Structure 1
């Protein structure tokens, strides 16, 4: 994926994340499926941001950004903020 495609994916996932969070505040809903999807979505978003950062870093240092690869969720989740 190229940067514009990654950014479109991030925007779409962020919008879905907002909708899910809003639905979780609705009284009378169980929310189990929404919480599960929200967790998956958060991990996928982290992967997309990581890929975008990799691509930008590679380009900045004269390397081919297309060689950046999506890292596993366990790797990305292990990063410290």
Structure 2
């Protein structure tokens, strides 16, 4: 996945997250779980994008960046 694809995926996740936030008062248990999942996926995507950009900046192969488990992102 290249940077543009990651950004496109982030955009899709954000749109879904916003739609759920718009219904915040009426979320079902499954929707609340989906919202938590979206938040974790967004964290992972942003982390992957930061890794790729850092590797590019220092002349390394951005394709060696990896998705880390949720909650394991280094900031």
Counterpart residue number, 1:4:
4
TM-score (structure 2 length as normaliser):
0.91
**What is the DSSP-based 3-state SS (H/G/I as helix, E as strand, rest coil) of the residue aligned with 2:68?**
coil
Gaps of 5+ in 2: none
TM-score (structure 1 length as normaliser):
0.85
Would you identify which runs of 4 or more consecutive aligned residues in structure 1 move more than 6 Å?
none
Q: Distance in 1 between matches of 2:60 and 2:29?
A: 43
Q: How many pairs align?
A: 75
Please tell me whether the aligned partners of residues 40 and 71 of structure 2 are also in contact (alpha carbons under 8 angstroms).
no
CA RMSD in angstroms comes to 1.3
Please tell me whether the aligned partners of residues 44 and 67 of structure 2 are also in contact (alpha carbons under 8 angstroms).
yes
Counterpart residue number, 1:36:
33
Q: Report the Cα offset of residue 30 of structure 1.
A: 4.9
Larger radius of gyration: 1
Gaps of 5+ in 1: none
Q: After TM superposition, list the pairs within 5 Å mapping 1:1-80 onto structure 2.
A: 1-25=1-25, 29-76=26-73, 79=74
